[in-house]
Structure 1
Amino acid sequence: MHAVVVTEYGSSDVLSWQEVPDPEPGPGQIRIAVRAAGVGPTDLHIRAGHLQGPFPLPTPGVLGFEAAGTVDALGAGVDGVAIGDDVAVLLPGLGGYAERVLADTWVAKPPNVSWEAAAAFPASAEAAVAGLVQLDVRVGDHLLLFGGGGSVGSIALQLAVARGATVVAVGREHSRATIEELGATFVPSDEPLLDAVRARTDRVDAVLDAVGLGDLGPAVELAGGTDRVVTLTGAAAKDGVHLLASGPHRAPGALDETMPLLAAGELRLRSRTTFPMREAAAAHAALETAGPHDKVVLVVD
């Protein structure tokens, strides 16, 4: 098979399309023939060498946390899925930019969900559900959300609204229409946060930072402390702010919860741009240009 391989840390030029051995599923794993794989911001940071601590890259390494395809092999002890089934998968480590991948977390792909959509949502949906679970967002809560127009933030916004929470979402102007259509009150990110939020809600019960702000001090002040303030990135996890929990069991039912909503049209994903998987370097380069971006998905020819 072929995969997009990283042989050293660096710019997008370090990504190359190479022949690699087929992976063999171990106990509890499935192998899929990949039709599409999602590209996330974390992939770019891993490739550049910014996350060598939490995400060390083997040599050679293959990026990618999410994919969709057809099951073509089963490991020992796997049940509830069969060879030939179409699935979306969340990968236990990396490896999504390849023609075949191994996974131990999957959900059936309904026929009306495209390959691109199925590959675009697993990592974001799992992070969004995990954030809401860690914050214990419930009916009547007022949630302050940073990044409501992004992949994780837009899903968290919709799920929070569905749970009966009131959401105030901070974002750039280009995301205003999306945030408001999804049911949140929009706060421009270029306005002073304390005054802007207080002008739109009388309280903040919980804060979810889905973009990795460097300074969450004003948000902590609005929430009255750090007890219910969670960020997705280590850069903002300081002064008592909680980092989103890690590990395979932080949101074990996330894909089973969100895939039916996606299939029913009750969960909206960001618009997508596709690249052939062999052109992953061009996809990374495009994401690193200035300005707003669609979710990027790599598709196998």
Structure 2
Amino acid sequence: MRFLKRPASVGRFAALTAALAASPAFAQSSTTPAAQASTNTSTFDDGWRFSLGFGAFETPRYQGASSTKFQPAPIVGVSYGRYFFGSVADASVPFGLGAFLYRDEHLRVGVALSYDLVSPRDSSDDIRLHGLPDINRTLHATLFGSYNLDWFTVVGAVSQDVAGENEGATASLDLFGRYSPASKWTLSAGPGITFGSAEYNNTYFGITPQNSTRSGLNAYSPGAGIAALRMTASASYLLSRHWTLGARIVATRLPGAVGNSPVVEKKTQMTYGAFAGYAF
């Protein structure tokens, strides 16, 4: 039992699946866990790389909901040298297009444009939301970076709504420790935090006077501040050179002013998921 560097195929797929798409629990939200970056530099050759797979998750219906929903999530990743499309390694980007600006054995910095694959919140998601506006899908510009050791990764990302949907900006930081009890198994866990701008927090957790009148909820404006604290744990198993199975659990706490929003029914949010994928 020891700390190990992961095989290249495990590293490639774990990086892609860490940013699984199509769910507010993973896609550009205050609950988003940043991706766990691969520590193996063989993923940085100049050839084509492809990953395909499928995941299924149980997630909160919206940020702060007490009810959950089942969310299928296709996994698609294509890269050529420093350029990538699909699920973006090393960033909290579920589906986008981008490039690494710098990369070496330990440090990576890149940019990406991504689009929400599902609406972050609809007024029909819960009776508590009736009278509140939907939160629409939008385009995000993200600057991300990671620093990787064989057993430890630090990942940070700053993201901005660039399509004028009033979703503001977020900044996230996640730490991951990795452990391999056997050659085919990789276990990972660590804490994370997301800071939301005033525009972001007010869109997701605020209630304007006009919306208060329509919904019956008290007017509320949380302002800028911490939007989420989380703990992420995951496991992956290498079936073969190409096939990987995995599971992930994310526990998120909506703290402070965000958690005190009239929109929030439950401050502690849980997301569970499993996936299978093929990397080639």
The two structures have a TM-score, normalised by structure 2, of 0.26
Larger radius of gyration: 1
The two structures have a TM-score, normalised by structure 1, of 0.25
In terms of fraction of residues, the more helix-rich structure is: 1
In terms of fraction of residues, the more strand-rich structure is: 2
